[in-house]
Chain A
């Protein structure tokens, strides 16, 4: 019940935001995915993230292809109101966010924990100019990882983000995705803050890793 009320408040805020966007194209015709079925939230957490992207008006999404983010990437690619930008390295995405903000658009970045390390100096752009940004980080090297090369960066990614000026949230279970991503998106763009949301390797889980 408490969770349902929180979700409703996000939807109400989303409508208010939609009404503010005078110069934007009409609200896209693709329906907003439902957030009201608990079972759906558990299995479809990428949809919950995407719904918040739509709610807060994310218009650009930068990413290096990633298995853990594959569903979310597909949702963004299929949305004509989101420009999806495939990057050669994650640090390019930081510039993309800054440019989007200069042009009045909100942007999000999707990356693996290894990508956090590629961005460190470029993050200075966000902090130095006060650009709001949401970064969704799929974690590697921290829970049941088979590849030791992922461990060094995976185990320091959250600390690195904090040192770089990010507010960080960590998600361990699917039923927390809606609430935490909603709160993260709101803080990022209400306060022009860089916010990173770490999706734990335990959450991403075996289902997503079909090898």
Chain B
């Protein structure tokens, strides 16, 4: 199983103009720990909505690559959005689920993936172009390449250790996060 911080850091090496939407909680902390960046849109709420923000952005900017990085709890809450994305077929959208099979923010209660609910199978059933699970750090470079070049929609379910890692807290002001993102995207 993967160390979440090492894995996310490797995904975001030399990220270039990759646009990143991060789901609330640990996914946001992991992306921030890999290095704050104006093209990160950090969520601190709106649970279940991360993938759909990625879809809206991917449709608006077909010339850029969009990566949604989120947790299993957020993805389970927005499972219908996988069907919506599969129907719409955005070629520039990838979703990385950091799946520790637990709700880390609320006391590590087991999530449905802990009981065997398979988000890779769900994504494939929802017409995703590609979906797979990864659990070794050696696979991170290949996942990173997929974020930048593979034809979407794709979903990567990253099996991470249910470790309690120190929080890295980025910007919380939604207006500031939005404004910074939009300005950086416009100046690319």
**Using a CB–CB distance below 8 Å, which chain A residues touch chain B?**
59-60, 83, 85-89, 91-105, 107, 121-122, 124-125, 128-131
The interface size of chain B toward A, counting residues with CB under 8 Å, comes to: 35
CB distance from A108 to the nearest CB of B (A): 12
State which of B49, B60, B174, B182 has its C-beta within 8 Å of the C-beta of A95.
B49
Beyond the given A99-B58, A102-B53, A128-B174, please list 13 additional residue pairs across the A-B interface where CB-CB is below 8 A: A83-B88, A88-B83, A92-B52, A94-B52, A95-B51, A95-B53, A95-B56, A102-B60, A102-B178, A102-B182, A103-B61, A124-B46, A129-B177
Contact A122 B84 (CB under 8 A): no
Contact B185 A104 (CB under 8 A): yes
Contact B60 A129 (CB under 8 A): no
In the complex the two chains form, what is the Cα distance from A96 to B59 in whole Å?
A: 9
Mark out the residues of chain B between 158 and 188 whose CB falls within 8 Å of any chain A CB in the assembled complex: 174-175, 177-178, 181-182, 185-186
Cβ of B21 < 8 Å from any Cβ of A? yes
Q: Could you tell me the dominant secondary structure of chain B's interface residues?
A: helix
* Residues of the A chain whose Cβ atoms lie less than 8 Å from the Cβ of B48: 91, 122
B172, closest chain A residue (CB):
A128
Using A60-B60, A102-B41, A121-B46 as known contacts, say yes or no to A85 and B55 having CB atoms under 8 A apart: yes
Contact B186 A104 (CB under 8 A): yes
State which of B45, B60, B81 has its C-beta within 8 Å of the C-beta of A92.
B81
Using A92-B81, A129-B177 as known contacts, say yes or no to A103 and B56 having CB atoms under 8 A apart: yes
CB distance from A102 to the nearest CB of B (A): 5
Using A125-B46, A130-B178 as known contacts, say yes or no to A92 and B80 having CB atoms under 8 A apart: yes
* Residues of the B chain whose Cβ atoms lie less than 8 Å from the Cβ of A122: 46, 48-49
Contact B47 A121 (CB under 8 A): yes
Using A104-B185, A124-B46 as known contacts, say yes or no to A95 and B175 having CB atoms under 8 A apart: no
Contact A60 B59 (CB under 8 A): yes
